[in-house]
Chain A
Amino acid sequence: MTLIDAGIFREWMVGLGRRSAFEQVAHLFCELYLKLQSAGVAGSCRCEFPLTQIDLAEALSLTDVHVNRVLKEMCGRSLVTLRGNMPVIEAWDELLQAAELTRRTCSLGSEQPQQRAVRCPFAYSPFELRQGVPTWRATSSSPTGSW
């Protein structure tokens, strides 16, 4: 495990233990977007995100009812809009602030952003990258619903 891996692992532990639901969802959106962008499979503040609210809830130790509330609040504050299964980040700076996420955390401020970001993003998250799309790693459930 490298220092970067350990850093990502710590971020997830802090998120699950100390962040509010809103902050956790914001963090996940920002983290996934930044890493997909650096991998060249996302841009213009949008990315493919074929995950259900149930998947998000399970990944973040929340209930799907509460995830729904958070997403509605995000949409209500015009931070994010949903176009089908594709979330579009409308207010990047505000969402980043809510997530307490820095570019340094994402390793994107380094000299080799692509190499690092592509290697590490999903190592310790419940998602993995399949053909450029974040995919729920768990085998017990599969993304069948929609937002």
Chain B
Amino acid sequence: MESHLVFSDGFLVAVLVRMSDIHGDRAGMWFLEAGFGPVDHPDPPTFANLDEAQSWVEWRLECKR
């Protein structure tokens, strides 16, 4: 399972996981497996690519600052 840890200013803020083939038409997308602090979300989103995920994480950090 491919995954990424996302850091901001040295702090872990998110874990992104690439969705495998078992997820059907969402396979290959990135899922917010866990978000911490302002990045936590009750309905974790999925992203088409890592750039989109990074933008969303940055937006969450910015708007909750």
Contact = CB atoms under 8 A, between A and B. Distances in A.
Interface centre among A65, A69, A72 (most CB of B within 10 A): A65
Interface residues of A, number: 5
A105 interface: no
Interface size class of B (residues with CB under 8 A): under 10
Contacts of B31: 63, 65
Nearest to B26: A65
A64 B1 CA distance: 18
Nearest to A71: B22
Nearest to A68: B23
A63 B44 contact: yes
A72 B46 CA distance: 19
A65 B46 CA distance: 9
Interface of B: 19, 22-23, 26, 31, 43-44, 46
Interface of A: 63, 65, 68-69, 72
